[in-house]
Structure 1
Amino acid sequence: MAASKLAVGVLGASGYTGAELLRLLEQHDRVQVEVLTGDRMAGKQIGEVFPHLAMQKLPKLVKIEDVDFAALDVVFCCLPHGTTQEVLRDLPHNVKIVDLSADFRLYDPKLYHQVYGHPHAAVELQKEAVYGLTEHYRDKVKATRLVANPGCYTTTAELPLVPLLAEELIERDPIVIDGKSGVSGAGRSLRENLLFAEAADGFSAYGVGNHRHAPEIDQCLSEFGGGKVEVSFTPHLVPMLRGIFATSYVRMKDGVEVQDLQERLEEAYADEPFVHVLPPKSLPSTKQVRGSNHCLIAVHPDRIKGRAILLSVTDNLIKGASGQALQNMNVMTGLPETSGLTIGPLYP
């Protein structure tokens, strides 16, 4: 007898992360997409919004207030930051939630208020949230009903740093993270700086010294680092469609060599299906993970003695968003973790 399928709803299906999630869910044989929301697009077929999804048999987009959440097993929330808490706080307790916004990533509601400029609207629900960096929070993800899916910059930076801090191979300070993102990381809304004539043939920094992902990175690294970590993080916009490249500069503990970092990362991710440590001094590229749920990591010695450089790449819409969300859903529901995620990178 065939196993029953999970009834899934995607809130905010008219954005890039929603579209990528639907593309991945098409490959998953244990889910049935029952609900799609997109308030401004309500009443339309998804193929009218994203023609590349027209071949999939999916329900029409509806407004959130028209959704019967009690009929769903899992909800993916792809709504904009600041809009998710009020939607999710009253959902039935049987519904498992993967939130792709930043609304539940920060444990401290006061810090959330400080970073995002408005009070947290679901403080009680926040207490249940588990940070969804799957490879390092897997057991907690299994036991929760609400996963706060990490951001794309944070995922890409944290994966190489967490094992090294946990084993006390690198110092907590300084850690400098130079991040670069494709334009899809900013979402689908119309913004002047994302117009082709503005973004093409250029390279620009933004959020310098105060990007909202920095406290998320600090929180995660501090958990594994045995003390307070505050990183220097600068993001940059690169004129490519998708991809995240994080270059992290670290200082090693006394007596630690670059080879020790290499060996620790290889050990940490030896059995992980989506995180791959390349041979020493490799040069990963965002194209090598494009369209996939994979992260590539490379370790390099710095010319300055006692320091090292970590390179990591992901696809911001997959491992940095929708793919990791599906990975977390699989863990939450006891399904094989790679279900719906075995698609390889697109190249060139």
Structure 2
Amino acid sequence: MAHKIAILGASGYTGAELVRLISQHPGLEIVALSADRKAGMEMAQVFPHLRHLALPTLCKINEIDFSQVDLCFCALPHKTSQQVISALPDTLKIVDLSADFRLRDPADYEAWYGNPHAAPELQKEAVYGLTEFYRAEIAAARLVAGTGCNAAAGQFALRPLIAAGVIDLDDIILDLKCAVSGAGRSLKEGLLHAELSEGYNAYAVGGSHRHLGEFDQEFSTIAGRPVQIQFTPHLMPANRGILATAYVKGDAQEIYSTFAAAYADEPFLDLLPFGEVPSTHHVRGSNFCHIGVSADRIEGRTIIIAALDNLTKGSSGQALQNANLMLGEDETTGLMMAPLFP
């Protein structure tokens, strides 16, 4: 019998991506879809590309009978998510795609997001949802906190190297480009086609980007000492994709061998031949992350580039990967689709 699934916030990009992925999953059935302003509408009206699917009508969250739900994806904005999840049954399995439960220390959450956490007990319970590094904890969890898409890309490019101690931990630069869907579906003047296309820009310059909280938490934990990276994100005029370029001090061949050992058995993390570089074109619409390693012309320096789809591996695909573990399904089910090209 299929597991019964609810998606809260189904009218956003990550909600639509979850529907697309789950529609190909033989072990999951969507029984409830919520939206706020679009409650009462059909998904085909909100997302015409999903009109071929038989889906529940969008409704308000309080109209859902959660006793009939096995797992709930929460694709709501941060601050809203913690309030909603606090009111859900404490036996319900939940994968949260917001930022509300990613940071373990409530003081860190308040520092990065500007308000006290409204559900600190749930925050203690949540497992960080970077699947490849927290499998056992995720499989046993009730509440999983999906990572930020930028944070996922950066960690796939750096985490094994920090854990192995093969790079200088005090000299890490991460330059990242993210497609516009990473900013969500809400109307914003700066995201209008006339203002975004034919150029791209840096934002949150100097260390104010909230995903730095995740980098600080995760990198410092695995290093056993404080680790802070230089990180600058850029908004690029593309619909999907993240390209993360890391500049590090360390031997390129040793770094490549470290990745080869760490990711040898990972179904979604593809290490390219040495010297090849990935492109967002080659992972679009998929749950794969491509990683390239190249030696720099300056001896002792290495460049690592990671590419993933921010809506799939960076968010909804990773959420489904986590849900598969939580529900006892094969981790890759519903996620082995080939990327879209061109």
Q: TM-score range by the shorter chain?
A: over 0.9
Q: Does structure 1 residue 147 correspond to structure 2 residue 141?
A: no
CA deviations 1:135-155 (Å, max 9, x no partner) are 011111111111100111111
Q: Does the CA contact (< 8 Å) of 1:172 and 1:228 recur in 2?
A: no
Q: In the TM superposition, what is the alpha-carbon distance from 1:70 to its structure 2 partner?
A: 2.1
Displacement over 6 Å in runs of 4+: none
- The aligned counterpart of 2:172 is 175
Q: In the TM superposition, what is the alpha-carbon distance from 1:224 to its structure 2 partner?
A: 1.6
Q: Which shows bigger deviation, 216-225 or 333-342?
A: 216-225
Return the TM-score normalized by structure 1: 0.96
What is the correspondence of 1:278-297 to structure 2 with a 5 Å cutoff?
278-297=272-291
Q: Does structure 1 residue 307 correspond to structure 2 residue 301?
A: yes
Q: Distance in 1 between matches of 2:65 and 2:249?
A: 52
Q: Distance in 1 between matches of 2:85 and 2:67?
A: 13
- The aligned counterpart of 1:23 is 20
Secondary structure at the residue paired with 2:286?
coil
Q: Distance in 2 between matches of 1:261 and 1:283?
A: 15
Secondary structure at the residue paired with 1:39?
coil
Q: In the TM superposition, what is the alpha-carbon distance from 1:93 to its structure 2 partner?
A: 2.6
Q: Does structure 1 residue 237 correspond to structure 2 residue 235?
A: yes
Q: Does the CA contact (< 8 Å) of 2:277 and 2:293 recur in 1?
A: no
What is the correspondence of 1:243-322 to structure 2 with a 5 Å cutoff?
243-252=241-250, 257-322=251-316
Q: Does the CA contact (< 8 Å) of 1:73 and 1:94 recur in 2?
A: no
Secondary structure at the residue paired with 1:322?
helix
Q: In the TM superposition, what is the alpha-carbon distance from 1:162 to its structure 2 partner?
A: 1.0
Q: In the TM superposition, what is the alpha-carbon distance from 1:94 to its structure 2 partner?
A: 2.2
* Aligned residue identity for 1:71: Q
Q: In the TM superposition, what is the alpha-carbon distance from 1:300 to its structure 2 partner?
A: 1.2
Secondary structure at the residue paired with 1:193?
helix
Q: In the TM superposition, what is the alpha-carbon distance from 1:226 to its structure 2 partner?
A: 2.3
Q: Distance in 2 between matches of 1:208 and 1:260?
A: 31
Q: Distance in 2 between matches of 1:306 and 1:243?
A: 30
CA deviations 1:120-140 (Å, max 9, x no partner) are 010000111111110011111
Q: Does the CA contact (< 8 Å) of 2:129 and 2:145 recur in 1?
A: yes
Q: Distance in 2 between matches of 1:64 and 1:137?
A: 30
Q: In the TM superposition, what is the alpha-carbon distance from 1:341 to its structure 2 partner?
A: 0.4
Q: Does structure 1 residue 328 correspond to structure 2 residue 325?
A: no
- The aligned counterpart of 2:107 is 110
Which residue of 8, 11, 15 corresponds with 1:14?
A: 11
- The aligned counterpart of 1:78 is 75
CA deviations 1:88-112 (Å, max 9, x no partner) are 1232232111000000001111111
Q: Distance in 2 between matches of 1:329 and 1:250?
A: 34
Q: Does the CA contact (< 8 Å) of 2:140 and 2:326 recur in 1?
A: yes
- Gaps of at least 5 residues in structure 1 are none
- The aligned counterpart of 1:224 is 222
Q: Distance in 2 between matches of 1:137 and 1:227?
A: 20
CA deviations 1:310-348 (Å, max 9, x no partner) are 100000000000000000000111110111101110001
* Aligned residue identity for 1:107: R
Q: Structure 1 vs Structure 2: percent identity of aligned residues? A: 53
Secondary structure at the residue paired with 1:178?
strand
Q: In the TM superposition, what is the alpha-carbon distance from 1:202 to its structure 2 partner?
A: 0.6
- The aligned counterpart of 1:156 is 153
Q: Does the CA contact (< 8 Å) of 1:162 and 1:225 recur in 2?
A: no
- The aligned counterpart of 1:101 is 98
Secondary structure at the residue paired with 2:330?
coil
Q: In the TM superposition, what is the alpha-carbon distance from 1:283 to its structure 2 partner?
A: 1.5
* Aligned residue identity for 1:236: H
- The aligned counterpart of 1:136 is 133
- The aligned counterpart of 2:209 is 211
Q: Distance in 1 between matches of 2:92 and 2:333?
A: 20
Q: Which shows bigger deviation, 169-178 or 121-130?
A: 169-178
Q: Distance in 1 between matches of 2:145 and 2:338?
A: 25
- Gaps of at least 5 residues in structure 2 are none
Q: Distance in 1 between matches of 2:158 and 2:142?
A: 27
Q: Does the CA contact (< 8 Å) of 2:241 and 2:307 recur in 1?
A: yes
Aligned residues: 341
Q: In the TM superposition, what is the alpha-carbon distance from 1:304 to its structure 2 partner?
A: 2.2
* Aligned residue identity for 2:235: L
CA deviations 1:168-194 (Å, max 9, x no partner) are 111211111101011111010000110
What is the correspondence of 1:185-196 to structure 2 with a 5 Å cutoff?
185-196=182-193
* Aligned residue identity for 1:225: A
- The aligned counterpart of 1:66 is 63
Q: In the TM superposition, what is the alpha-carbon distance from 1:233 to its structure 2 partner?
A: 0.8
Return the TM-score normalized by structure 2: 0.98
